[in-house]
């Protein structure tokens, strides 16, 4: 047999490697019936790739898929990714986990949108080597097999860099010299780990297949997942009854809000308020000159969505307020309400943007039996839809220019989903740091569709979940796939529209237990001002606040006896200091033999941060039970004992797998326990 030389090995010109292009993946493009590699059940993927999954900048995007082919050939796979606006793909190898499930990852180093796909191929050399070693061990005549191995190496030599080619050439020469001699030595050479690794990484991708879709991932900034919100009406931050505070005066409240540990300050609309059909106290149809009106009745001769209510000050005052908030460590979230008072400039400039009755009058907003005579909803079916869309996008960009990067969107479920997908993706193309929160208390599928369309956070049904069974069912839904891939909850304890029934009894324990639930079950939570004062006066038979701040100016004593500011401050401190509370999908409900005590754990094991939370859902009576902490969750081992420290009180307990818990709401309605040293 002739001996193969280096010259022989280099005679074949290197073919171009198939890869994903800038416009889409390469054809999984074998003709029907010829494609050898199956790639399916890819994650993360939302609705088969129709919508992007959500992640956080700085993390790795973990990609998994079922990958297999017919026969027993050895396959390889790689995840290929790029910025959505880039041309070239990068790639990283995937590893077999078990049962044809593969895993790989790529870094999310930028606040942007990424696309990725998966390529799978047969490793001809590894397949040949595995069979060759078996044949050689069985004493077969392997001369022809060595010839085959040399041919495979010759083909692979054209795919690798010059620095790697030498090992391939050397191995081919060794095989050629052993054609008629020592199969065992040839088998040892064939199994060279360095050669196998080299060809798995850089060798020929035989019968390559690429997943048929490009999947998308949004890498948001961390505040999209973990944040503490405080809602405040600037006009109610003064000290003189009946007189609205200006934005400059409202700045005096900023240090106290930041001191409680909040990092997002949400403002209802700060735009001019209309006079026509202005609402009076308690949503009355009768208003006098002292009635400030609802901030959601946007627009007056002073301007519309890009103007400031004159009683608050000027646009320069808003800029000063935003800068003062930033200096305190607070980021402004501004309400974006697509609706107008009858006095809004758009009503005269663009009458086709509104719904008209047969008599020509414009229809005001209704949510029967509620009526909003001071508000005109916008007609998204207007023939001037393109002009309307551009104006709304211009409005968002206007406030971005004034330092706003977070928008709480009012009633987004009453606007087309396609509009939100268009608007949010368009805004984030230029300002990827922008965060949109969907205020939508509506049917579950619409709430989820809004999240898929691009909203980084969403209001939820938390306000109406009260029992152990309700919390367990709802949080299990939110923290597991598929919802966890795209839906990020923000648990508000109350809003200007909602004073939950459990809070109406006035017990400070009720306010505390709801705060603990919101702050520990969800990475993002919020309160509407007055919650820290345990305000609980409702319109009889409803969840509406009596003397609602939506229609009048409130002057409060922020140090009122019975307030829970210290408790809320401690809660936010615990959240900042414990990584386990800053992610969503690590929640595990644990057994407690009393339905009035909700018991759950959250863990960030990479930081040895394991928390156990027990909450008494009864704000009036002490409750006791036995709780069970599986050794697999505590990490302490079977029959082990360990210390737990209550982060709310500082008390230290000796715990194990089964533990007695008694929670008296007159003392504290909850434990937030951090697992410490073994005993």
**All residues at 6 or more sequence positions from 456 whose CB lies less than 8 Å from its CB, including other chains:** 54, 220, 224, 435, 436, 437, 488
Kindly state the average pLDDT of the residues 307-316.
98
pLDDT score of 506: 77
Q: How many Cβ atoms sit within 10 Å of the Cβ of residue 677?
A: 7
Nearest partner of 632 among 671, 605, 613, judged by Cα: 605
Q: What is residue 369's predicted lDDT score, i.e. its pLDDT?
A: 83
Backbone angles phi, psi at 216, to 5 degrees: -120, 145
User: What pLDDT score does 460 carry?
Assistant: 98
Q: Residue 7: is its pLDDT beyond 80? A: no
Q: What is the residue-wise DSSP string for 423-475?
A: HHHHHHHH-TT-EEEEE--S-HHHHHHHHHHT-SEE--SGGG--SHHHHHHHH
Instruction: Classify residue 212 by its DSSP letter.
Output: S
| pLDDT per residue as tens digits for the range 456-493 | 999 999 999 999 999 999 999 999 999 999 999 999 99
pLDDT band with cut points at 50, 70 and 90 for residue 56:
very high
Q: Where are the alpha helices (DSSP H) in 291-364?
A: 315-328, 345-349
pLDDT range class, residue 220, cuts 50, 70, 90: very high
| Residue 158 CB partners (closer than 8 Å, separation 6+) | 12, 13, 14, 15, 204
Q: Which helix H or strand E contains 287, and what residues bound it?
A: none
Provide mean pLDDT across the span 201-206.
93
Q: Are 601 and 613 in contact (CB under 8 A)?
A: yes
For residue 92, what are the β-bridge partners? 79
Burial class (CB in 10 A: 0-12, 13-18, 19+), 177: middle
Q: Global pTM?
A: 0.92
CB atoms < 10 A from the CB of 144, how many?
Answer: 10
Structure confidence by residue, pLDDT tens digits, 369-426: 888 999 999 999 999 999 999 999 999 999 999 999 999 999 999 999 999 999 999 9
**Which pLDDT score is estimated for 484?**
97
- Going by pLDDT thresholds of 50, 70 and 90, the confidence category of residue 12 is very low
Residue 482 preceded by cis peptide, ω within 30: yes
3-state DSSP assignment of residue 135: helix
Q: Are 431 and 444 in contact (CB under 8 A)?
A: no
Query: What are residue 76's DSSP bridge partners?
Result: 121
CA–CA gap between residue 287 and residue 280 (Å, rounded): 4
Across the chain, mean pLDDT equals 93
What does each C-alpha distance from 435 to 313, 354, 415, 551 come to in angstroms? 26, 28, 18, 28
Break the chain down into helix, strand, coil percent, rounded to 5.
30, 25, 40
pLDDT of residue 6: 34
Q: What is the dihedral of CA 365, 367, 373, 374, to 10 degrees?
A: -60
How far apart are the C-alpha atoms of 414 and 423, rounded to whole Å? 15
pLDDT value, residue 72: 93
Residue 194 has pLDDT above 60, yes or no: yes
Per residue in 506-538, pLDDT (tens digit) is: 799 999 999 999 999 999 999 999 999 999 999
Q: Which region, left, alpha or beta, applies to residue 277 given φ > 0 means left and ψ of -120 to 50 means alpha?
A: left
Q: Which of 495, 293, 292 is nearest to 411 (CA)?
A: 495
pLDDT confidence of residue 25: 45
- What is the average pLDDT across 583-604? 98
Residue positions counted in the chain: 679
Average pLDDT for residues 415-440, to the nearest whole number? 98
Lowest mean pLDDT among 133-142, 258-267, 399-408: 133-142
Q: Distance (Å, rounded) from C-alpha 94 to C-alpha 200? A: 11
β-pairing verdict for 457-458 and 435-439: parallel
Residue 36 has pLDDT above 50, yes or no: yes
Q: Tell which wins on pLDDT, 23 or 447.
A: 447
Res. 26: pLDDT tops 90? no
* pLDDT exceeds 70 at position 20: no
Q: Which residue has the tokens 């959250």?
A: 602
Average pLDDT over residues 600-617: 97
pLDDT confidence tier of residue 211, bands split at 50, 70 and 90: very high
Structure tokens that stand for 54 in this block? 């959500």
Neighbouring CB atoms inside 10 A of 19's CB total 16
Q: Which residues are catalytic?
A: 410, 439
CA distance 267 to 601: 33
Mean pLDDT of 66-80: 97
Q: What's the whole-number mean pLDDT along residues 311-333?
A: 98
Query: Could you give phi then psi for residue 177, rounded to 5 degrees?
Result: -70, -20
- Is residue 17 predicted with pLDDT exceeding 50? no
CA atoms of 478 and 489, how far apart (whole Å): 8
Comparing 99 with 182, the larger pLDDT belongs to 99
Does residue 25 contact residue 117 with C-beta atoms inside 8 Å? yes
Indicate the DSSP class of residue 235: G
∠ Cα 54 411 229 (to 5°): 60
Pairing mode of beta strands 490-492, 406-410? unpaired
What sign does the CA torsion over 509, 514, 515, 517 have?
Answer: positive
Instruction: State yes or no: pLDDT of 571 exceeds 70.
Output: yes
63 and 49 Cβ atoms separated by less than 8 Å? no
Residues 6+ apart with CB under 8 A from 593: 625, 626, 627
How many Å apart are CA 403 and CA 242, to the nearest integer? 30
Q: Which two tokens stand for residue 331?
A: 């980021």
The radius of gyration computed from the CA coordinates of the chain, to the nearest angstrom, equals 32
Q: Which residues contact 199 (CB under 8 A, 6 or more apart)?
A: 123, 125, 126, 156, 160, 168
Within 76-161, residue ranges assigned H as helices are 124-137, 143-157
């Amino acid at each position: 047999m002739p001996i193969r030389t280096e010259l022989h090995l280099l005679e074949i010109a290197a073919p171009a490697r198939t890869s994903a292009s800038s416009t889409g993946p390469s054809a999984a493009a074998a003709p029907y019936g010829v494609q050898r590699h199956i790639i399916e059940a890819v994650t993360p993927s939302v609705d088969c790739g129709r919508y992007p999954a959500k992640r956080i900048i700085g993390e790795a995007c973990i990609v998994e898929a079922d990958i297999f082919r017919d026969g027993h050939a050895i396959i390889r796979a790689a995840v290929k990714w790029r910025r959505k606006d880039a041309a070239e793909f990068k790639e990283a190898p995937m590893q077999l986990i078990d049962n044809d499930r593969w895993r790989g990852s790529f870094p999310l180093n930028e606040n942007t949108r990424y696309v990725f796909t998966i390529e799978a191929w047969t490793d001809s050399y590894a397949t040949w080597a595995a069979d060759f070693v078996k044949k050689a061990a069985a004493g077969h005549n392997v001369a022809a097999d060595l010839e085959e191995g040399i041919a495979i190496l010759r083909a692979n030599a054209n795919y690798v860099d010059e620095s790697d080619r030498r090992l391939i050439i050397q191995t081919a020469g060794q095989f050629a010299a052993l054609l008629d001699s020592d199969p065992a030595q040839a088998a040892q050479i064939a199994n060279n780990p360095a050669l196998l690794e080299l060809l798995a990484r850089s060798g020929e991708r035989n019968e390559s297949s690429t997943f048929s879709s490009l999947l998308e991932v949004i890498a948001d900034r961390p505040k999209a997942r973990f944040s503490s919100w405080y809602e405040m009406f600037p006009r109610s931050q003064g000290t003189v009854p009946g007189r609205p505070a200006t934005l400059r005066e409202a700045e005096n409240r900023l240090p106290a809000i930041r001191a409680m540990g909040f990092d997002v300050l949400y403002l209802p609309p700060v735009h001019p308020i209309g006079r026509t059909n202005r609402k009076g106290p308690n949503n009355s149809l009768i208003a006098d000159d002292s009635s400030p009106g609802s901030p959601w009745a946007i627009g007056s001769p002073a301007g519309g969505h890009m103007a400031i209510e004159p009683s608050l000050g000027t646009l320069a005052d808003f800029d000063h307020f935003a800068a003062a908030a930033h200096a305190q460590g607070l980021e402004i979230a501004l309400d974006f309400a697509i609706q107008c008072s009858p006095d809004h400039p758009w009503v005269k400039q663009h009458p086709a943007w509104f719904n008209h009755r047969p008599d020509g009058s414009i229809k005001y907003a209704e949510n029967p039996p509620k009526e909003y005579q001071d508000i005109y909803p916008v007609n998204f079916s207007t023939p001037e839809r393109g002009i309307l869309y551009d104006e709304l996008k211009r409005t968002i960009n206007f406030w971005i220019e004034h330092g706003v990067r977070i928008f709480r969107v009012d009633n987004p479920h009453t606007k087309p989903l396609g509009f939100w997908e268009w608007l949010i993706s368009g805004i984030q193309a230029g300002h990827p740091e922008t965060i949109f929160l969907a205020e939508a208390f509506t049917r579950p599928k619409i709430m989820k569709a809004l999240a898929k369309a691009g909203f980084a956070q969403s209001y939820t049904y938390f306000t109406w979940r009260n029992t152990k069974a309700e919390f367990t069912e709802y949080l299990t839904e939110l923290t597991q796939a598929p919802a966890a891939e795209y839906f990020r909850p923000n648990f508000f304890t109350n809003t200007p529209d909602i004073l939950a029934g459990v809070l109406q009894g006035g017990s400070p324990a009720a306010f505390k237990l709801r705060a603990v639930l919101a702050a520990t079950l969800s990475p993002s939570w919020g309160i509407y001002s007055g919650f820290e004062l345990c305000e609980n006066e409702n319109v009889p038979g409803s969840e509406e606040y009596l003397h609602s701040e939506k229609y009048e100016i409130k002057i409060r004593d922020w140090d009122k006896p019975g307030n829970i500011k210290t408790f809320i401050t401690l809660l936010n401190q615990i959240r900042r200091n414990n990584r386990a509370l800053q992610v969503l999908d690590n929640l595990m409900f644990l057994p407690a033999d009393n339905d009035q005590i909700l018991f759950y754990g959250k863990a960030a094991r990479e930081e040895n941060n394991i928390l156990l939370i027990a909450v008494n859902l009864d704000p009036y009576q002490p409750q006791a039970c036995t709780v069970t902490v599986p050794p697999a969750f505590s990490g302490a081992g079977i029959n082990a004992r360990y210390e737990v420290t209550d982060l709310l009180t500082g008390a230290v307990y000796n715990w194990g797998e089964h533990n007695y818990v008694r929670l008296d709401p007159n003392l504290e309605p909850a434990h937030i326990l951090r697992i410490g040293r073994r005993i």
